[in-house]
């Protein structure tokens, strides 16, 4: 059933559009990085050029990854929200759910087999996007990423939070409403995630109310912590200007406890969604 659901998703125009957008994005990124690399090789002897030259390839790679990261994340997030909010409701609305439930399998298996397909497709797209960004950047600005395993684990945590939220909400409220709510939560989490990174650079200087709000939002919707882990794992370890880009990236490694919390949070929402699914009549 899971493979059948994945096959259905791959036939959808939204997934095809996302794949085309991914190819276009990586093509444009490749062109931009190659142009930046050529400009660096041909730049003059002015003071501004000398300052840029002092930064080295690792800092150029850092700037490139942090610039491309939010755009890639937006594409993946949009995809998982759209397809994650539609799989179960469409199986129910189009009358196919009674057939799946008539097979010798539990409701939990049906719930997970159909529901996991959007997560798998979105994770594959994220691997292609961020993997492409990493490879292209390394070709023109050689560097050693900080922690690739952390990036892979964080990517799964980030996408799992978004997926669990939209899948649960799609069973409780209408599909469009669930999409809008999760889009809003993701945007707010990203905003305050950047503020959190800045506050870590200047401990004690931020207003207590802002710190409280920021940490509360991190616990209410922990998707941004996973995204920060992806960026931290991909950026160069020997870059000089990491702190100056903290709002867009990370100022320190994401604690493993934050990622574990994201998974536990997702399990809770999946359980709520399953509780709703089990009580539905088909």
Split at pLDDT 50, 70, 90, the class of 27 is very high
Q: Is residue 95 classed as helix, strand or coil in its secondary structure? A: coil
- Compute the distance between CA of residue 265 and CA of residue 161 in angstroms, rounded to an integer: 7
pTM of the model: 0.88
Contact 83, 170 (CB under 8 A): no
pLDDT in tens, 162-198: 999 999 999 998 889 999 999 999 999 999 988 888 7
Split at pLDDT 50, 70, 90, the class of 52 is very low
Percent of the chain with pLDDT over 70: 88
pLDDT of residue 215: 87
Q: Which of 242, 268, 87, 230 is nearest to 153 (CA)?
A: 230
For residue 51, is pLDDT > 90? no
| Average pLDDT for 150-154 | 94
Q: Which of 82, 95, 116 is nearest to 273 (CA)?
A: 116
């Amino acid at each position: 059933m899971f493979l059948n659901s994945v096959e259905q998703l791959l036939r959808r125009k939204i997934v095809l559009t996302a794949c085309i957008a991914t190819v276009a994005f990586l093509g444009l990124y490749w062109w931009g990085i190659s142009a930046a690399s050529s400009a660096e090789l041909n730049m003059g002897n002015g003071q501004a050029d000398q300052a840029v030259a002092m930064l080295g390839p690792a800092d150029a790679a850092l700037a490139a990854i942090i610039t491309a990261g939010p755009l890639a994340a937006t594409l993946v997030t949009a995809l998982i929200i759209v397809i994650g909010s539609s799989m179960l409701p469409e199986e129910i609305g189009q009358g196919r759910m009674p057939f799946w439930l008539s097979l010798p399998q539990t409701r939990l298996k049906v719930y997970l087999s159909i529901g996991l397909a959007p997560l798998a497709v979105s994770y594959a797209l994220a691997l292609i996007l961020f993997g492409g960004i990493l490879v292209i950047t390394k070709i023109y600005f050689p560097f050693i990423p900080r922690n690739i395993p952390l990036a892979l684990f964080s990517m799964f945590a980030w996408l799992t939070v978004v997926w669990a939220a939209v899948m649960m909400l799609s069973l409780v409220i209408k599909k469009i409403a669930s999409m809008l709510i999760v889009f809003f939560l993701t945007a707010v989490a990203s905003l305050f995630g950047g503020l959190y990174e800045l506050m870590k650079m200047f401990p004690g200087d931020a207003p207590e109310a802002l710190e409280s709000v920021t940490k509360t939002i991190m616990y209410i919707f922990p998707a941004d912590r996973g995204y920060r882990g992806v960026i931290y794992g991909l950026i160069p370890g020997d870059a000089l200007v990491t702190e100056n880009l903290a709002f867009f990236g990370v100022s320190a490694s994401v604690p493993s406890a934050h990622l574990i919390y994201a998974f536990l949070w997702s399990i809770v929402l999946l359980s709520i969604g399953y509780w709703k699914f089990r009580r539905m009549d088909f």
